[in-house]
A and B are shown apart, each in its own frame.
Chain A
Amino acid sequence: MDKIELGEFIKTLDSGFEIKEGKQFTEVTVPPSKLHSLASQLRENKETLFDFLVSVTGVDYGPDLGLIYHLRSTKYGHTVVIKSRTPDRENPQFDSVSDIWEAADLHEREAFDLLGIRFSNHPDLRRLFLNSSWGFPLRKDYVDDDIITW
């Protein structure tokens, strides 16, 4: 399916999602509560079959924290982007999709390590690169004495 058809197909799943045609891919914006159900539907549905999670990217938008999922289908060759954000900075909570795609395991650990986003139902949520004495360095409000700025 190409971009436009994908957008329309996802609209039929739930009309509450915003669909946007980006330059390369179709982008779907979902609230965090509906993320897991959309992801499992996209994987299982015979017409889309998104079985390859390319990456999970954590973003700090300023007031919000968010996630961007790039999904690909090895059978049909199409790609879709799912975006999700939450305004809660104290305890940002998303559902883990590692039960749908195994690859999400390490990606979510990295997002937790560097941005502090927590994932429920994650098999082993702990830091990947840094140790616990660092805060969450990729947040915009990260303060550190050692950093020298311009």
Chain B
Amino acid sequence: MGIKGMKYEEFGDNESLELLKETGTNVLLTTIDDVINWGRKNSLWPLTFATSCCGIEMMQTGAPKHDFARFGMEVYRASPRQADVIVVAGTIVKKMAPVLKRLYDQMSEPKYVVAMGACTITGGPFYRDSYTIVRGVDLIIPVDVFVPGCPPRPQALLYGMLQLQRLIETQTIKSRKLRNASHNYE
């Protein structure tokens, strides 16, 4: 276990994971799903996307001290077609919002979104009196994991990515399609 992941007991939130395992999948996880999910969660390749200060913290999470290549996020892909997860690191302003939506649409399934930092959750420090920002990136794209902090420490971002890995473990191919259908962001 050691360096490859966190133990089950060390996560702060296990109740929702258990709930997801019981109710989130309407087909029993088969061995094929287990193998596929194991492959997917251990090789999440992020898209190169950073707009603000959270981008620097994300770069630090990829730097040698808190390395997230240990957990499988080995390379950053510059092309959205080749990326699995987009870590939205930074403030999204109204000028940037269509660009982000276009990048998200260009990513190929299965794709996941991690909203990093306070700006992407609710607008952060710019919530009041700002005429340009989008108050929360979940107004534009569906988000899987929210990582709070301004900016979140590298350890916090790693915790968020590990939670995302546990989320992927519980999904079957069929439930993914249902989840996408339930978000009407078109």
Contact = CB atoms under 8 A, between A and B. Distances in A.
A31 interface: no
A148 B128 contact: yes
Contacts of B38: none
Contact of A144 (B95, B127, B128, B131): B131
Contact of A137 (B128, B131, B135): B131
Interface in B105-153: 127-132, 135
Nearest to B94: A146
Residue among B127, B128, B130, B131 facing the most chain A CB atoms (10 A cut-off) = B131
A110 to B, nearest CB: 15
B131 A149 contact: no
Interface residues of B, number: 8
Interface residues of A, number: 10
B129 A142 contact: no
Contacts of B129: 147-150
A51 B136 CA distance: 46
A146 B131 contact: yes
Contacts of A134: 131
Contacts of A137: 131-132
B131 A147 contact: yes
A134 B135 CA distance: 18
Interface string A124-150: 000000010010010000101011111
Nearest to A129: B95
Nearest to A137: B131
Contacts of B132: 137
A146 B132 CA distance: 9
Nearest to A144: B131
18 contacts: A131-B95, A134-B131, A137-B131, A137-B132, A142-B131, A144-B131, A146-B131, A147-B129, A147-B130, A147-B131, A148-B127, A148-B128, A148-B129, A148-B135, A149-B128, A149-B129, A150-B128, A150-B129
**Which 7 interchain pairs have the tightest Cβ spacing?**
A137-B131, A144-B131, A147-B131, A149-B129, A150-B128, A148-B128, A147-B129
